[in-house]
């Protein structure tokens, strides 16, 4: 039997990359997974994109739509943000490498869509993720009810300027064996760069476009 | 080694069967996606030229990366070759079933056994399971396991995906009698 790990209780300064059995117990964590994709680029070096996912037991199983979700949200969501952002930062090599971000949650078939939303759409997750990844913009997202083995396309946009068209992108995440009916999968994604060959302008370079344009299109 | 993309997947299991797994059971996979060296050549009788050009370099690329991704001592391992729809399964097998490829992983992991493998052909995004076995004794039953993988947008018809997998331990709640008890 190994002696218990001596760890700081101050999670703001503690890495959760190893020795996090206390956090796993507190969140009902079954598994964590991360996927990192590295694409060589002739001008940008390598574009690195990553997703990190925590699969937890749904803390609201068996409750109804009148149940207050705030207590468990405040207890669990910050811990998930910490586990997930630690892995994204490890994958991209630090906060300065993060240019785009996004998030997602899939609730298993015995849960409510609102359970997924509770864990990603409140400051207890979003603010911590934004702070850890060094961003200022609102975080784009996907949510829904899911079954094990599905593939989720996680959206991302620029972490400081959401309307920056070059950074609109998605990353596919495969969820083997998750989420079970009584679970929730909570996910975030980060990218070190734009789409590989972004060249569709920006709102600063677009001419004014309305439905008037349909009058001038020659077929 | 030229590749279109490199994908690293790490799974950490903290609970299985409703009981904690501590320390967590980690499994890492690293996959490289690259042009099939025999693409567009019809049936190539002698594959040695392509094997010599790719297999060793590929092993040298993937082995240190999967060990780093695991981040803890390795106890089980495996490999995969997924060939795009325009290639032969033999092309993928050619690149992984040679000591020129596997020895990079065995040497880096201080392993001695042959690597269990999956070989198949499929469209981009095809799902595959990589089998893993114990790194010094393939009869150790506790370490028989597999990891589910799917790499989006790969392999294209003219590409091959080659992956290595590593695990820190056997199955999270392994409790089967060893092979020797039945012999």
Residue B108 token pair: 């880096």
In sequence order, which residues have a C-beta less than 8 Å from that of residue A74 and are 6 or more positions away? A124
Dist CA B127 CA B144 (whole Å):
20
Q: pTM value? A: 0.95
Q: Phi, psi (5° rounding) for residue B133?
A: -135, 165
Distance from CA of A67 to the nearest CA of B (A): 25
A33-197: what fold?
60s Ribosomal Protein L30; Chain: A; (3.30.1330)
Residue with tokens 């009810």: A145
> Residue range B106-123: average pLDDT?
97
Q: Could you tell me which residues are beta bridge partners of residue A91?
A: none
Q: At what angle do helices A123-132 and A70-92 cross, to 10 degrees?
A: 20
Q: Measure CB to CB from residue B5 to each of A20, A34, A38 and give the nearest one.
A: A38
Per-residue pLDDT reduced to its tens digit, A171-183: 999 999 999 999 9
- Within 149-188 of A, beta carbons closer than 8 Å to B belong to 149, 151, 172, 174, 176-177
**CA distances in angstroms from A216 to A201, A209, B36, B50, listed in the order given:** 21, 12, 47, 55
Q: Could you tell me which residues are beta bridge partners of residue B6?
A: A38, B32
Dist CA A144 CA A155 (whole Å):
14
Domain residue ranges of chain A, discontinuous segments joined by +: 33-197
Per-residue pLDDT reduced to its tens digit, A116-145: 999 999 999 999 999 999 999 999 999 999
Residue A57 token pair: 């037991």
B5-182: what fold?
60s Ribosomal Protein L30; Chain: A; (3.30.1330)
**CA distances in angstroms from B82 to B8, B70, B160, listed in the order given:** 16, 22, 6
* Interface residue ranges in chain B relative to chain A, Cβ cutoff 8 Å: 3-16, 20, 22-24, 71, 125, 127, 148-150, 152-153
Per-residue pLDDT reduced to its tens digit, B131-175: 999 999 999 999 999 999 999 999 999 999 999 999 999 999 999
Domain residue ranges of chain B, discontinuous segments joined by +: 5-182
């Amino acid at each position: 039997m190994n002696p218990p790990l001596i760890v700081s209780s101050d999670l703001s300064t503690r890495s959760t990359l190893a020795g996090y059995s206390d956090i796993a117990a507190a969140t009902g964590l079954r598994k964590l997974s991360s996927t990192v994709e590295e694409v060589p680029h002739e001008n940008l070096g390598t574009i690195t994109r990553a997703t990190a996912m925590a699969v937890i037991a749904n803390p609201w199983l068996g409750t109804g739509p009148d149940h207050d979700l705030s207590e468990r949200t405040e207890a669990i969501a910050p811990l998930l943000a910490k586990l997930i952002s630690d892995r994204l930062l490890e994958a991209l090599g630090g906060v300065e490498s993060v240019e785009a971000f996004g998030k997602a949650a899939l609730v298993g078939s015995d849960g409510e869509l609102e359970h997924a939303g509770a864990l990603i759409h409140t400051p207890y997750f979003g603010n911590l993720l934004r702070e850890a990844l060094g961003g200022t913009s609102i975080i784009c997202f996907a949510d829904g009810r899911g079954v094990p083995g599905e593939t989720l396309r996680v959206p991302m946009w620029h972490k400081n300027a959401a309307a920056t068209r070059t950074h609109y992108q998605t990353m596919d995440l495969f969820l083997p064996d998750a989420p079970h009916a009584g679970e929730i999968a909570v996910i975030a994604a980060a990218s070190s760069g734009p789409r590989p060959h972004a060249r569709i302008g920006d709102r600063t370079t677009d001419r004014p476009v309305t439905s008037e344009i349909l009058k001038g299109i020659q077929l | 080694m030229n590749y279109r993309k490199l994908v690293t997947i790490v799974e950490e299991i903290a609970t299985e069967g409703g009981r904690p797994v501590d320390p967590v059971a980690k499994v890492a996979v690293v996959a490289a996606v690259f042009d099939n060296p025999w693409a567009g050549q019809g049936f190539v009788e002698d594959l040695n030229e392509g094997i010599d050009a790719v297999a060793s370099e590929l092993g040298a690329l993937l082995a240190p990366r999967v060990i780093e991704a695991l981040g803890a001592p390795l106890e089980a391992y495996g490999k995969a070759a997924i060939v795009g729809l325009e290639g032969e399964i033999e092309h993928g097998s050619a690149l992984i079933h040679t000591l020129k490829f596997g020895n990079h992983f065995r040497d880096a992991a201080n392993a001695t056994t042959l690597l269990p493998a999956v070989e198949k052909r499929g469209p981009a995004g095809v799902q595959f399971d990589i089998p893993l076995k114990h790194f010094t004794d393939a009869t150790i039953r506790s370490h028989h396991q597999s990891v589910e993988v799917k790499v989006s947008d790969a392999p294209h018809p003219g590409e091959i995906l080659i992956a290595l997998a590593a695990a820190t331990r056997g199955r999270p709640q392994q409790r089967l009698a060893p092979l020797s008890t039945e012999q």
